Amino acid sequence: MDKIPEKVFVISGKRKSGKDYVASLMCNRIGKHLCSSVQLSGPLKKQYAEDHNLNFEKLMDSSEYKEKFRIDMIKWGEDKRTEDPGFFCRLATSKADLKKIWIITDARRKTDVDYFKENYNDRTLTVRVCAKESIRKSRGFTFTLGVDDAESECGLDEGIHWDYLIHNNGDQDLLDKDINHLVTIVQEKLCDVT
């Protein structure tokens, strides 16, 4: 663990809640020269694609191609996590070009949250992106048995105290207010360091 960030935001939320969108807004406001977005699913999908001779780029987008393999990919990822709960977290942070602020865009399990809290203690803040189901449906969400009732979607629904909740229900003013609050925390932290 040679890369030590000043702050780690661990973002979670249901499918189509806007986790990547929130992370992108945060990174833009913090400054891309200071901020790295880290997807835990990236290394998982890359390894899955290699092991199964699939198109990695298509697994990374929102295509039907990814949906075709989602259930098997979830099972494969769960098997890897059972062997080593921090495997994908370590892989994602070891290969990325990481800057002072890390935004983990897709924590899905308690072990993901635990990994960052244990390894980066008081530098870690947990963030839950919340969106009503009707809003998620307007963004293309459709309940899929074996996906939306699996640990990868439900593992963080209970038993986690979130440091911050971000509401992403289409009210841009509220979303901006929530994100600006997190950006202020970063600015204060960076002032303490310099």
Instruction: Give the integer Cα–Cα distance in Å for 103 and 39.
Output: 8
Structure tokens at 155: 């593992």
Instruction: Give the integer Cα–Cα distance in Å for 129 and 165.
Output: 6
| Biggest CA pair distance of the chain | 50
Helix ranges restricted to H, 85-150: 87-95, 110-120, 133-138
| Residue 152 backbone dihedrals phi, psi, to 5 degrees | -65, -20
| 10: nearest Cα among 170, 131, 99, 129 | 129
Could you tell me the residue ranges of all domains in the chain?
7-193
- 19 known ligand binder: yes
pLDDT tens-place values along the chain, 194 residues long: 457 899 999 999 999 999 999 999 999 999 999 999 998 888 888 889 999 999 888 887 767 888 888 888 888 888 888 899 998 899 888 866 789 999 999 999 899 999 999 999 999 999 999 999 999 999 999 998 888 888 888 889 988 899 999 999 999 999 999 999 999 988 887 766 54
- 112 known ligand binder: no
- 68 known ligand binder: no
- 17 known ligand binder: yes
The pLDDT value given to residue 151? 82
| 46: nearest Cα among 27, 82, 73, 9 | 73
- 14 known ligand binder: yes
- 168 known ligand binder: yes
> What pTM, to 2 d.p., does this model score?
0.85
Instruction: Give the integer Cα–Cα distance in Å for 182 and 188.
Output: 10
Q: Is the dihedral of CA 31, 93, 3, 103 positive or negative?
A: positive
- 123 known ligand binder: no
For domain 7-193, the CATH class is: alpha beta
